Amino acid sequence: MDANGEERLVSRRVTIKEVAKRAGVGTMTVSRVVRNHGYVSDSVRIRVAEAVRELGYRPNGSARSLRLRRTDTIALIVSDITNPFFTTIARAVEDVASESDNLVLFGNTDESESSEIRYMEMVLQKGVDGVLLVPATDGRVALELAQASGLPVVAIDRRVSPAFDCVRCDSEGGAALLADRLLELGHRRFAILGGPDEVSTSHDRIQGFRLRAEAKGGQVTVYHGKLTVVDGERLTRVAMEANPRPTAIFAVNNFLSFGALNAVGALGLNVPDEVSVAGFDDLPESMVNFPFLTVVSQPAYELGALAARHLFERIQNPALPPQDLALPTTLRERSSTGPRR
């Protein structure tokens, strides 16, 4: 009991999760109150402060001292492990980690922000030396959770706040490069199959393509959906109902590309004579016997390896300023695109 007759948990260290449960809020809110950083309403702040006092919560020492207890384990949280792009990234991360006898824990969020937060809370509880995160959207909550706990974290593939490390590819520049080539082939009416606009890769690729195409006289219509084969098929059917219909389709990821090809085939249209189809992200050579699709290719393995090495550098030197590292992309022209006819 304390001086006021209230029972305190003194036999062990009280966790931030226990404080959050007592106050009826999330762990991120507790972290904001404890650090006095970020907006929290007065009523919630009072509730959290009371829970901290009642439970006798004390934040763990300094972030740096926490990180000295090495686990030789890092976590990789991706948005869709079925996507070959992320599978290749995972292989690269594992290869780099094995060079220093580190293990990798994998998590798959299925493009869900709530799953992303749950995974981040889990690795914080289990204890790892650092996290690589492919955010479902902007990753803000999960990244701030890691930061508040002093856990080194690096975002992969998708742009995040400048306060965090990010390793990605030049999505906007790659899409602009593809637009230039399709314009050279005579195309002027384009359909873009995009994902949710809050996903930075989708947003950047749409912007890069649209701005370049429209600057040179092209007409662009954007269709938004999920980053899946099913929505690639659905959006393509909608796009091809336009009059006049587009002569070229650009899909912002490989799953949307596959869906577009399926839908065009089901509609009885010839690729590329009646409509050209191009995408962003290539497939590993081991997965295709005859490469057919014109793509903007990202160096997935190099991206994963660079991100892993950067995370290990961050673990060793937590005071380094955050960096935004962007790798170049490559246009690979194949038989799914051709001159407008």
Total of domains in the chain: 3
Which CATH number covers residue 259? 3.40.50.2300
Q: What is the Cα–Cα distance from 184 to 180, expressed in whole angstroms?
A: 6
Per the listing, tokens 């650009």 go with 250
Contacts of residue 164, Cβ cutoff 8 Å, sequence gap at least 6: 139, 143, 147, 153, 154, 155, 322
- Whether 95 is in a domain gets the answer yes
Q: What is the pLDDT of residue 26?
A: 86
Which residues partner with 247 through β-bridges?
Answer: none
pLDDT at 41 over 50: yes
Same domain, 205 and 229: yes
Task: Work out the number of other CB atoms within 10 angstroms of the CB of residue 329.
Answer: 23
CATH number, domain with residue 2:
1.10.260.40
User: How high is the pLDDT of residue 9?
Assistant: 38
Q: Does residue 55 sit in the same domain as residue 103?
A: no
282 and 211 fall within a common domain: yes
Q: What percent of the chain has pLDDT over 70?
A: 90
Residues 180 and 109 in one domain: no
Q: 162 and 259 share a domain?
A: no
* Candidate from 27-36, 57-66, 330-339 with smallest mean pLDDT: 57-66
Q: Per residue in 266-325, pLDDT tens?
A: 999 999 999 999 999 987 776 565 679 999 999 999 999 999 999 999 999 988 999 999
The verdict on residue 229 lying in a domain is yes
139 and 81 belong to one structural domain: yes
On whether residue 123 sits in a domain, the answer given is: yes
Joined together, the tokens standing for residue 134 give: 């492919």
- Specify the higher pLDDT residue, 254 or 42: 254
Quickly state the pLDDT bin for 74 (edges 50, 70, 90).
Answer: very high
**Do residues 288 and 188 both lie within one domain?**
yes
Give pLDDT tens digits for 212-266.
Answer: 999 999 999 999 999 999 999 999 999 999 999 999 999 999 999 999 999 999 9
Give 195's contacts (C-beta < 8 A, 6+ positions apart). Answer: 201, 202, 224, 225, 226, 227, 252, 253, 256
pLDDT at 8: 42
Identify whether residues 234 and 134 lie together within a single domain: no
Residue 62 in this model has a pLDDT that exceeds 60: no
Let me know: does 216 contact 187? Beta carbons within 8 Å.
Answer: no
Q: How far apart are the C-alpha atoms of 260 and 269, rounded to whole Å?
A: 11
The enclosing H or E element of 337 equals none
Is 240 part of any domain?
yes
Determine what percent of the chain is predicted with pLDDT higher than 90.
Answer: 69
For 26-35, 89-98, 108-117, which range has the lowest pLDDT when averaged over its residues? 26-35
Q: What is the pLDDT of residue 61?
A: 45
Residue range 9-35: average pLDDT?
76
Overall average pLDDT of the 330-339 stretch: 96
Within-domain flag for 280: yes
* Residues 317, 200 share a domain: no
Report the mean per-residue pLDDT for the chain: 89
Give yes or no: residues 293 and 191 share one domain. Answer: yes
Range of the domain at 204: 171-297
pLDDT at 202: 97
Confidence of residue 174 (pLDDT cuts 50, 70, 90): very high
